[in-house]
């Protein structure tokens, strides 16, 4: 029931439109008030304050409209809720421009320390959303007062959501293109391929060899070892020393680094520096980018000096090959 109520809120325009064919406006308003009361009753005490802070705008809009409709029994009043909600959002976003903008507050949930350039960008995006709420609310208000109920329901229940989703998607693309920060979000694998992270080369030329070597290894998340295999879950750091030269502005993890990491793991496994004879069936299928997750799996063919390796993640194979060592490494 708790999960159903947000869907009911999104479907408000169509519920009102079809409801007016069977009930009068006052009855619909009373049902809406009863639904709000039920939702409030289902909120646990420990979540009450957080829930109210997150939902007070739509609750206030629907409750106000429902009370006015219950008093007047005027169906047009029910249709004012989307316009009132847009007006409330406009006031909220516009007033935030006096200090920390609304979009900046949302961005800091994921990235607490925003650079000045991104703070300015968030203010610009907040202004864009203000313009959207003003335009969207104006259309919703005109349809509520002058349009047909069918046109009002179509716009406020479908078209406005599509416009909002389009604006959100476009802004997300622009944000990723400008800042290219990937922190493990579900869209990061896609955007990191379209907009590879930018890597600064400042101060790299004066860095000591020891400092460079320290930045040539992955971030190890988890290691699993078996009798004839080892799996290492890792994250590709954004500050690897190889990025500026491979390639500037479009960093890709070099194949030789992937091979080196596999050989280093074999060295830990065997307890000796591997004497490489050759690498067979070597394939680099998908680029590995800064910030991506990967799993290095190394397996050993028992009784032979052959080790197979594969870099993969969630079904995507980045590279694979078969490393053949000197015969003294047969196990």
Tens of pLDDT, residue by residue over 205-223, are: 444 444 444 467 898 999 9
* Contact yes or no for 276/215 (Cβ under 8 A): no
Average pLDDT, whole number, for the chain? 83
SS3 197: coil
CATH class, range 212-329: alpha beta
pLDDT at residue 298 tops 70: yes
pTM (global) more than 0.75: no
CA atoms of 67 and 59, how far apart (whole Å): 12
Kindly report the CA angle at 218 between 217 and 220, in degrees rounded to 5? 125
pLDDT of residue 207: 47
> Where exactly are the structural domains of the chain?
4-193, 212-329
Tens of pLDDT, residue by residue over 31-57, are: 888 877 877 777 777 777 766 666 677
Sheet holding 316-325, edge to edge: 219-225, 229-235, 293-300, 306-313, 316-325, 276-284
């Amino acid at each position: 029931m708790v999960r159903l109520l947000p869907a009911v809120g999104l479907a408000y325009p169509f519920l009102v439109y079809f409801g007016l064919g069977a009930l009068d406006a006052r009855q619909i308003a009373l049902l809406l008030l009863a639904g709000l009361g039920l939702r409030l009753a289902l909120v646990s005490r420990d979540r009450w304050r957080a829930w109210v802070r997150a939902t007070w705008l739509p609750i206030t809009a629907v409750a106000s409209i429902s009370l006015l409709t219950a008093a007047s029994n005027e169906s047009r009043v029910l249709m004012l809720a989307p316009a009132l909600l847009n007006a409330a959002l406009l006031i909220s976003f516009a007033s935030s421009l006096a200090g920390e903008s609304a979009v900046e507050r949302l961005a800091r949930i994921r990235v607490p320390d925003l650079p000045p350039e991104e703070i300015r960008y968030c203010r610009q995006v907040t202004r864009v959303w203000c313009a959207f709420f003003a335009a969207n609310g104006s259309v919703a208000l005109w349809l509520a007062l002058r349009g047909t109920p069918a046109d009002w329901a179509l716009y406020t229940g479908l078209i406005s959501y599509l416009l909002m989703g389009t604006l959100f998607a476009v802004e997300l693309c622009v944000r990723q293109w400008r800042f290219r920060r990937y922190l493990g979000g579900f869209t990061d694998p896609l955007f990191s391929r379209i907009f590879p992270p930018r890597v600064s080369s400042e101060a790299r030329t004066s860095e000591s060899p020891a400092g460079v070597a320290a930045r040539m290894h992955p971030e190890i998340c988890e290691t699993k070892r078996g009798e004839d295999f080892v799996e290492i879950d890792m994250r590709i750091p954004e500050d690897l020393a190889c990025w500026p030269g491979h390639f500037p502005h479009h960093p890709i993890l070099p194949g030789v680094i992937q091979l080196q990491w596999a050989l280093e793991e074999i060295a830990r496994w065997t307890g000796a520096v591997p004497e490489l004879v050759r690498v067979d069936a070597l394939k680099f299928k998908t680029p590995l980018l800064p910030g991506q997750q990967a799993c290095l799996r190394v397996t050993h063919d028992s009784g032979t000096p052959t080790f197979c390796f594969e870099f993969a993640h969630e079904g995507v194979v980045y590279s694979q090959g078969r490393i053949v060592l000197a015969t003294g490494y047969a196990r």
